Amino acid sequence: MKKEVKHIIWDKTAECMSRDGIRALQDQRLRELVKRVYANVPFYRAKMQAIGVMPGDIRGVEDLHKLPFTEKTDLRDNYPFGLFAVPQSQIVRIHASSGTTGKPTVVGYTARDIDTWAELMARSMTCAGITKDSIVQVAYGYGLFTGGLGAHYGAERIGASVIPMSGGNTKKQVMLMQDFGSTALACTPSYAMVLGEAIQEMGIPLSKFKLEAGVFGAEPWTEGARRRIEELLGISAQDVYGLSEVMGPGVSMECPYQQGMHIWEDHFIPEVLDPDTGAPLPYGQQGELVFTTLTKEGLPLLRYRTHDLTVLDPSPCPCGRTHVRMRKLVGRTDDMLIIRGVNVFPSQVEGVLASIPGVTPQFLMVVGTRHNLDTLEIRVELTPEMMSDTVRHIEETEKLIASNIASVLGLNAAIRLVPPGSLPRSEGKSKRVLDERVR
């Protein structure tokens, strides 16, 4: 049985501020930010001068569109500390996110940045029902990745007891979860699934655990994955979003209503843009999420392009928080695959699999080339029960997946059902795509 999330709010004044109040605060903070980056970051000064925008031209959020964008490549080009807005002596922490190619993206924090981050993670983890009485097992990686220390500081700020496990070492995670009576788990959704499956395999009944809540993020996961994790761990699984460049985890967080993640707008201005033209889109339309950081001192960013695709919803939320919600991510502009001309997101495959009994959301899309044409094979893990089923039933399941994939993706794919546990497992972020195309 899934546990209900406790409805508590960490900072009512900030989280339930009127929309007008949020806007006024953003206006004032944006003006200060623009002055600060113009004065202290040569990169931004040059960019603004190139397009003829002076700090005085920015009166508030209505002028945001006049400001230049920041791309991940800008951080790389100024590697490692070139975009920092304070002298290095004021930087107290450095994190980095590893890209698929080349140098990592480096981010720096002042003491006040770390304090803000802890506060926003405390807000976020409170959304999942975590209190000072909670025992929080942090199984995000500690290190240059922001997940471990981000969750750690947030849980400590709440006053919870923190177990800094870091990722991996699954058997020990399960043992301590049981022995210490962890009430909350913070890790990637794919690792939550690994832990849930391990508990099932070890044959330990859920009644031996005290888990109530999960704070899962750092990678896309569908409603189907959520249901599976909730079932495997007997908890309520809440989504947390963030990115190193903008802060780390805790930029936005789901409340108990699980209808999108509240973006902490007193610290970040979100925009959704047409990814191709860069034109701002109205609320309710899907596009690329862009953030301007309002309070960051070490690495303030103007209109940072996340390449994450989502929809913003400003409608009132029954939880009482007034901050705009972003819908669960549909994918990234850059993890979108183009297969035989069709745009495909791994999340669509996950969505299809969630509706089919007998299979798990563990899959790998293998894209190849045959006779100069793209091919797509989807390997999907069966559930242990299904493994012992008849060949005919397994074949029927393959056909069902193939036809649902064809109608959702608009593309034919070869489906290969594989034994449970046979696809490569990640301790951190999951790998969904193997692109072996010859280009």
Contact residues for ligand DLL (CB under 6 A)? Answer: 97, 140, 145-147, 150, 217-220, 239-244, 248-249, 306, 308, 329, 332
Looking at the Cβ atoms of 196 and 217, the one nearer to ligand DLL is: 217
**Residue listed under structure tokens 């069902």:** 400
Strand 414-418 relative to strand 373-382, pairing: parallel
Looking at the Cβ atoms of 224 and 248, the one nearer to ligand DLL is: 248
CB of 51 to ligand DLL, least distance (A): 26
CB of 244 to ligand DLL, least distance (A): 4
CB of 436 to ligand DLL, least distance (A): 23
Please give the structure tokens belonging to residue 394. 């397994």
Strand ranges in 58-124 using DSSP code E only, listed in sequence order? 91-97, 105-110
Looking at the Cβ atoms of 84 and 345, the one nearer to ligand DLL is: 345
Q: Which long-range contacts (CB under 8 A, 24 or more apart) does 395-400 make?
A: 397/356, 397/358, 397/359, 400/356
Q: Diameter of the chain by CA atoms?
A: 72
Please give the structure tokens belonging to residue 69. 């964008």
CB of 395 to ligand DLL, least distance (A): 34
List CB contacts of 244: < 8 A, sequence separation 6 or more.
95, 96, 97, 105, 107, 145, 146
Element of type H or E holding 361: strand 359-370
CB of 181 to ligand DLL, least distance (A): 24
> For residues 109 and 158, is the Cβ–Cβ distance under 8 A?
no
CB of 294 to ligand DLL, least distance (A): 19
Looking at the Cβ atoms of 34 and 106, the one nearer to ligand DLL is: 106
CB of 58 to ligand DLL, least distance (A): 26
CB of 190 to ligand DLL, least distance (A): 11
Helices then strands, counting H and E runs in the chain, come out as 12, 21
Give the number of other CB atoms < 10 A from CB of residue 194. 24
Q: Which residue is at the shortest CB distance from ligand DLL?
A: 217
Looking at the Cβ atoms of 38 and 140, the one nearer to ligand DLL is: 140
Looking at the Cβ atoms of 18 and 101, the one nearer to ligand DLL is: 101
Residue type, 146: T
> For residues 343 and 330, is the Cβ–Cβ distance under 8 A?
no
Strand 433-435 relative to strand 359-370, pairing: parallel
CB of 48 to ligand DLL, least distance (A): 25
Element of type H or E holding 409: helix 391-409
Q: DSSP for 206-270?
A: GGG----EEEEESS---HHHHHHHHHHHTSEEEEEEEETTTTEEEEEEE-TT-SSEEE-TTTEEE
Looking at the Cβ atoms of 233 and 263, the one nearer to ligand DLL is: 263
> For residues 91 and 112, is the Cβ–Cβ distance under 8 A?
no
Q: Which class for 370: exposed (0-12), middle (13-18), buried (19 or more C-beta within 10 A)?
A: exposed
Looking at the Cβ atoms of 212 and 288, the one nearer to ligand DLL is: 288
CB of 254 to ligand DLL, least distance (A): 9
CB of 205 to ligand DLL, least distance (A): 29
> For residues 400 and 332, is the Cβ–Cβ distance under 8 A?
no
Name the β-bridge partners of 268: 293
Looking at the Cβ atoms of 140 and 363, the one nearer to ligand DLL is: 140
Looking at the Cβ atoms of 58 and 309, the one nearer to ligand DLL is: 309
Looking at the Cβ atoms of 120 and 339, the one nearer to ligand DLL is: 120
Please give the structure tokens belonging to residue 395. 């074949």
Separation CA 227–CA 233 (nearest Å): 10
